[in-house]
Structures are given as C-alpha cells and as structure tokens.
C-alpha cells in the first residue's frame, strides 16, 4: 500500500483487499505511532480497491479512528464499494466514520474543516 504524505497535516493510505489490508493498516498505525501525538497527521483511507471487510478489518479501522481522535486528528474514508458500504450499514458504522466520494473531496473536507 502506498502511504502518501500529502502534507505535514494529511496522510493518504491506498488500501487493498486481504491479506494486504491488515498489513497496510498495521503499517499506517506504526507510521502514526512514530509521528507522535503532536505531529500526527489527519488520515484519508482510499478504499477504491477494497471489495470486502472482515471483522478484523473493521477492528483495525476502529483502532485507527480511536488513535486519531485521541490526538485531536480526523479521519476520512473514501471510494467505498457497494459491498463494503452494505457491511458498514449493517453494522451501524456508517454513523461512526466520515465518508467522502473520493480523495479530492476528502482533502477538501479536511482543509475546509480547519
């Protein structure tokens, strides 16, 4: 997964289906841990190539959200496939995460909310 440091304040992660999803999320969480609380960036998860989520994936998403919120940072999830969106709706997670249509919209929403 490419993790792109778009700016000092925003990181963009391009996620893939399993088994890469878990590895990608672990790498992102590690990068955020290394950044530390004061310099931790907001995050955008581009899920355009993710076609399904399992319970472990959902747990990793929630862990990432908790870490970012705990440091006063924000998370945007974008480019969700219909099958993934259905799983998020069924679990009620559509109300937990902030979703956008694409990376460009996610970037704009983070910059507007400053």
Any idea what the CATH number is for the domain that residue 29 is in?
3.30.750.24
Q: Is 47 helix (H, G, I), strand (E, B) or coil?
A: strand
* pLDDT for 49 beyond 80: yes
Q: How many independent structural domains does the chain possess?
A: 1
For the record, the structure tokens of 38 come out as 């004061």
Global confidence as pTM = 0.91
pLDDT score recorded for residue 114: 62
What residue numbers bound the domain in which 32 lies? 3-112
Cα 85 to Cα 68: distance, rounded to the nearest angstrom: 22
Distance CA 103, CA 107 (A): 6
pLDDT of residue 99 exceeding 90: yes
**83 near 49, Cβ under 8 Å?**
no
Number of residues written out for the chain? 114
pLDDT of 33 reads 85
Mean pLDDT of the chain: 91
The DSSP output letter for 113 is T
Q: Which two tokens stand for residue 20?
A: 């890469």
């Amino acid at each position: 997964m490419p993790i792109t440091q778009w700016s000092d304040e925003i990181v963009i992660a391009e996620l893939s289906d399993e088994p890469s999803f878990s590895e990608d999320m672990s790498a992102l969480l590690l990068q955020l841990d290394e950044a530390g609380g004061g310099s931790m960036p907001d995050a955008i998860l581009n899920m355009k190539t993710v076609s399904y989520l399992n319970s472990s994936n959902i747990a990793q998403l929630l862990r990432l959200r908790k870490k970012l919120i705990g440091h006063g940072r924000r998370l945007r999830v974008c480019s969700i496939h219909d099958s993934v969106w259905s799983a998020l709706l069924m679990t009620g997670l559509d109300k937990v995460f902030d979703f956008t249509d694409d990376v460009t919209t996610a970037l704009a929403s983070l910059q507007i909310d400053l």
